[in-house]
Amino acid sequence: MKISDILSPVSIITHFTGTEKYEIINELIDSLESNPEVNDLEMVRKAVIDREKILSTGVGKGFAIPHGKTFGVNNMIAAFGKTAAPIDFEALDAQPVNMLFLLVGRENAVGMHLKLLSRIARLLNNEDFRQKLLNANSPEEIHQIFLTEESQYFDIND
């Protein structure tokens, strides 16, 4: 499964209205409302928020990967957002976050969920890739960056 297959320009936010951690997470979740794979958006919200309350998904280097598993979705779904004004996310490196990748999987799809989390983290650990995302001006451009980068570094048939 490719990240670029589950990430649609419709669920890519280039400017958040919120300025706090949970406001931004909720904006990402709300961007999934029209996704046909979502059965229950409030179940998605609960899964992601409950997971975030356990331990911050701010993994360092200015990005966070909020995620959750729920039967509120049929298949893996994703959203991405970036903010010009970094926010406190209680990240592992104590640095503010300016990019977020939201991943939500079906409750019983643990293997694929972990594989995609790992793939996202590997991509976002790349400084050049992060800079391309920060410099991008539109959801379509961001989606293309993911597509291009992913095709260069991963066996995308798995």
Residue 90's nearest CA partner among 14, 20, 15, 16 is 20
* Contact present, 59 and 67 (Cβ < 8 Å): no
Looking at beta carbons, which pairs linking 35-38 to residues 24 or more positions away fall under 8 Å? 35/8, 35/10, 35/11, 35/77, 37/73, 37/74, 37/75, 37/76, 37/77, 38/72, 38/73, 38/74, 38/77
The answer to whether residue 113 is catalytic is no
Catalytic residue of the set 15, 67, 113, 143: 67
**DSSP bridge partners of 69:** 105
- What lies within 8 Å, CB to CB, of 111 at 6+ separation is none
Task: Provide the annotated active-site residues.
Answer: 67
